[in-house]
Chains A and B, each alone.
Chain A
Amino acid sequence: MKKFFAQSYLWLLLALLYAPIIIIAIFSFTEAKVLGNWTGFSTNLYTSLFSGGVRHNLLDAIENTFTIALIAAAVSTILGSIAAIGIHNMRGKRRQAITFLNNIPMLNPDIITGISLFLLFVSLSITQGYTTVVLAHIAFCTPYVVLSVMPRLQQMNPNIYEAALDLGATPFQALRKVIIPEIRPGMISGFILAFTLSIDDFAVTIFTIGNQGLETLSTFIYADARKGGLTPELRPLSTIIFVTVLLLLIIINVRARRAARKQENI
């Protein structure tokens, strides 16, 4: 009996958490303009999403979102990995201080990050637009990459870099042939994390996107919702994004578990 209640509690909690997204997913397969009306099964919203049946700026927003996420994730992976290697080679107090500084942006509310970046760009009189959004996303993604690369460096035998130099590798060759293969799993996890964080972001984006008409998905949906009534095509879109993120998360977890198992075998 006790077990039954414990189980039901868990399922109830999960149902509450996932109900909204499941409802959207279900209603993405019907054509009704208003969410909640079921007018029969149809995949028309999916077709119209991709065949230009929607307003042109939704497709632009989708494209912007994904290109920004790709660029931000790629750049922050490079910056974050380099930073992690640097921090790893520091000693004592300095290392503690830098690690602490790296953690602050992650704990800082997004809205603060957004406002401060907005003020920074304004004070440097940089026109806000695509570039500023990319820069802002790189800024808040990089600490997460550092965090996912650091454990790999800590597990690494400290002598292998020296061993590579000893065998005739230049410092750059040693980095490429020895250090990077060792930290690659951390870099990939960091990249995926940065990518999903960037797609997801609203608070930082809205402050750095400027007023030149640039839209990402999150700002588009926000504007759309405020105009009253969501474009019906947002339902299949949300579903697709949800499934994509879910898949990415599953990949991250499976990789982490596999790495842990490999570690145990050693």
Chain B
Amino acid sequence: MVTKNDTIIKIEHLSKAFGDKVVLDDINLDIRRGEFITLLGPSGCGKTTLLRMIAGFLKPDSGVIMMEGNDISEVPPHRRPLNTVFQRYALFPHLNVYDNIAFGLKLNKVPTAEIETRVRKALKMVSMTDYEDRDVNSLSGGQQQRVAIARAIVNRPKVLLLDEPLAALDLKMRKDMQMELKQMHQELGITFIYVTHDQEEALTLSDTVVVMSDGKIQQIGTPIDIYNEPVNSFVADFIGESNILNGTMIHDREVEFIGHTFECVDEGFGDNAPVDVVIRPEDIYIIANAENAKFTGVVKSCIFKGVHYEMFVETDKGYELMLQDYNAFEVESTVGMFIKPSDIHVMHKERTCNTFEGKMISPNKVEIMGAEFECCDCGLKEGDNIYAAINFDRVELLDNKEDGIVMGEVVFILYKGNHYHITVLTDDGDKIYVDTNDIWDKGDIVGVSIAPSDLHITKRV
């Protein structure tokens, strides 16, 4: 069904801000004819904004949206050859099922006889035959969603946009509808652009998944690529369960993490390069006999999850790993573990320390992140432009936000086996990354403080 290189929608350098808040930041995306593409990300990542822009409800600040070679950025929504299925159905309450579905066809002056056959066909497609005369307010959530889908596909759009269409349904209904949507996509052969925050739904349905965060595209790929080869720790953490660990690429095909050296299949990172290592919990093999194992550990918890058991194991070098196995292992028992080279996924580190641009305001004071920090006298004078570097583990987070030099909100937490890697968004919009053993929650407001001796200052030219 999906033909290569037949692009139906091309998005170039699309940006949008609401006030000060950038919601889409230089988005580039090609959507192929007939593909099922999913925009996936946590709430506030910009996925719905992007969809609404494709539909025409929002105008981009900059960038273009091309459809079949024509710029449609300025075309109003009613003249775009695409239709939308809204999250909260958005059926017209004063019309019955038939008139809801016929709404678009009537506007397009389709002959009455044809409207009737097309509405019936659409109803059949969503398994709602014989519901024509029902009042839409009397339908259940699932039925309303079916009518909303029928109302969109009856117009034979080239592209169907779906904005979290299943979010309001219960789990069982959601699973059924997923299968039906997938089948509908195959039967209709049109392009589906689907928005969801549910990674499982995205992996199940899509030909292509676009993972978004903070208004940027993090990764585009097939569900298998996204799962097996995440490009960064955000994607690895967001898609499925994973162990994300600091590591060092000793040389090609050999990586060190959790205090052991492993053979792997990755190359080209350079010798002794710091990397992030991702191990899926199902890829760690666990055996009761610890003697011949690659490394050992003690089972700390074991929970039955239906098909498998989920266990947390503390390794011999003090790292905590999550793993899944069909067999249960007793808590406090010592186990042995293996990891296959092909199951070790190595990623470039996005950063190895915090770096800020700033300037000196006196020989031992520096302005960074919109605040004054004390630093050691390093021979620079007032007004010099500088870079300030701070190691992740040298940033101090304080409960009492007034005690810090700047204030910020914990926006992202990543567990790295033996410590947390926390992203703090300051009031001025800077991001500071912190390694800590303390437990913080997402949304916590914290004070940030840095000791003068931990600010490494270099002159910026």
Q: Is A213 engaged at the interface, CB distance under 8 Å to the other chain?
A: no
Min Cβ gap B97→A in Å is 15
Report yes or no: B92 in contact with A166, Cβ–Cβ below 8 A: no
| A-B contacts at CB below 8 angstroms, number | 70
Report yes or no: A168 in contact with B104, Cβ–Cβ below 8 A: yes
Number of chain B residues whose Cβ lies closer than 8 Å to a Cβ of chain A:
27
Min Cβ gap B101→A in Å is 10
Contacts of B78 in A (CB 8 A): 165-171, 174
Contacts of B88 in A (CB 8 A): 157, 159
Contacts of B86 in A (CB 8 A): 159, 162-163
Report yes or no: B104 in contact with A160, Cβ–Cβ below 8 A: no
Report yes or no: A165 in contact with B77, Cβ–Cβ below 8 A: yes
Contacts of B57 in A (CB 8 A): 162, 165
What sequence of 0s and 1s flags, for each residue 47-64 of chain A, a beta carbon within 8 Å of any chain B beta carbon?
Answer: 000000000000000000
Bound form: Cα–Cα A163–B144 in Å? 14
A173-B107, A265-B137 given as contacts; is B90 within 8 A of A167 (CB)? no
Name the residue among A162, A166, A168, A171 with the largest chain B CB count within 10 angstroms: A166
Report yes or no: B84 in contact with A163, Cβ–Cβ below 8 A: yes
What sequence of 0s and 1s flags, for each residue 103-128 of chain B, a beta carbon within 8 Å of any chain A beta carbon?
Answer: 11001100000000000000000000
Report yes or no: B103 in contact with A181, Cβ–Cβ below 8 A: no
Q: Is B55 engaged at the interface, CB distance under 8 Å to the other chain?
A: yes
Q: Is B270 engaged at the interface, CB distance under 8 Å to the other chain?
A: no
Q: Is A248 engaged at the interface, CB distance under 8 Å to the other chain?
A: no
Q: A165 touches which one: B76, B93, B137, B151 (CB < 8 A)? A: B76
Report yes or no: A164 in contact with B84, Cβ–Cβ below 8 A: no
Q: Is B4 engaged at the interface, CB distance under 8 Å to the other chain?
A: no
Bound form: Cα–Cα A265–B56 in Å? 34
CB-based nearest A residue for B82: A166
What sequence of 0s and 1s flags, for each residue 298-323 of chain B, a beta carbon within 8 Å of any chain A beta carbon?
Answer: 00000000000000000000000000
Report yes or no: A168 in contact with B90, Cβ–Cβ below 8 A: no
Report yes or no: A266 in contact with B94, Cβ–Cβ below 8 A: no
A163-B92, A167-B107 given as contacts; is B137 within 8 A of A266 (CB)? yes
Bound form: Cα–Cα A169–B77 in Å? 9
Q: Is B15 engaged at the interface, CB distance under 8 Å to the other chain?
A: no
Contacts of A157 in B (CB 8 A): 88-90, 93
Is chain A's binding surface mostly helix, strand, loop or mixed? helix
Bound form: Cα–Cα A146–B90 in Å? 24
Contacts of A177 in B (CB 8 A): 103
Contacts of A171 in B (CB 8 A): 76, 78
Report yes or no: B151 in contact with A167, Cβ–Cβ below 8 A: yes
Contacts of B137 in A (CB 8 A): 262, 265-266
A165-B76, A165-B78 given as contacts; is B107 within 8 A of A159 (CB)? no
CB-based nearest B residue for A161: B90
Contacts of A262 in B (CB 8 A): 137
Bound form: Cα–Cα A187–B138 in Å? 25
Report yes or no: A160 in contact with B92, Cβ–Cβ below 8 A: yes
Contacts of B108 in A (CB 8 A): 168
A159-B86, A163-B84, A173-B107 given as contacts; is B92 within 8 A of A168 (CB)? no
Bound form: Cα–Cα A94–B86 in Å? 28
Report yes or no: B92 in contact with A178, Cβ–Cβ below 8 A: yes
Bound form: Cα–Cα A177–B95 in Å? 10
Min Cβ gap A92→B in Å is 11
Min Cβ gap B102→A in Å is 10
Q: Is A182 engaged at the interface, CB distance under 8 Å to the other chain?
A: yes
Contacts of B242 in A (CB 8 A): none
Bound form: Cα–Cα A164–B83 in Å? 10
Contacts of B155 in A (CB 8 A): 167-168
Name the residue among A159, A168, A177 with the largest chain B CB count within 10 angstroms: A168
Q: A163 touches which one: B76, B79, B90, B107 (CB < 8 A)? A: B90
Within 8 A of A (CB), among B137-153: 137-138, 151-152
Contacts of B152 in A (CB 8 A): 166-167
Bound form: Cα–Cα A163–B90 in Å? 7
Contacts of A266 in B (CB 8 A): 93, 137
A159-B88, A162-B77, A266-B137 given as contacts; is B83 within 8 A of A167 (CB)? yes
What sequence of 0s and 1s flags, for each residue 130-165 of chain A, a beta carbon within 8 Å of any chain B beta carbon?
Answer: 000000000000000000000000000101101111
Report yes or no: B94 in contact with A181, Cβ–Cβ below 8 A: yes
Within 8 A of B (CB), among A221-266: 262, 265-266
Min Cβ gap A195→B in Å is 24
Name the residue among B84, B108, B138, B155 with the largest chain A CB count within 10 angstroms: B84
Report yes or no: B104 in contact with A159, Cβ–Cβ below 8 A: no
Contacts of B84 in A (CB 8 A): 162-163, 166
Min Cβ gap B192→A in Å is 15
Q: B103 touches which one: A162, A164, A182, A265 (CB < 8 A)? A: A164
Report yes or no: A166 in contact with B107, Cβ–Cβ below 8 A: no
Given A159-B88, A165-B77: 9 more A-B contacts, CB < 8 Å: A160-B92, A165-B56, A167-B151, A167-B152, A168-B78, A168-B107, A168-B155, A174-B78, A181-B94
- Residues of A at the B interface (CB closer than 8 Å) are 157, 159-160, 162-171, 173-174, 177-178, 181-182, 262, 265-266
A sample of 5 inter-chain contacts (CB < 8 A) reads: A163-B86, A167-B83, A167-B104, A168-B108, A181-B94
Question: Top 10 A-B pairs ranked by shortest CB distance?
Answer: A167-B104, A159-B90, A163-B90, A165-B77, A181-B94, A168-B107, A159-B86, A266-B137, A166-B84, A165-B78
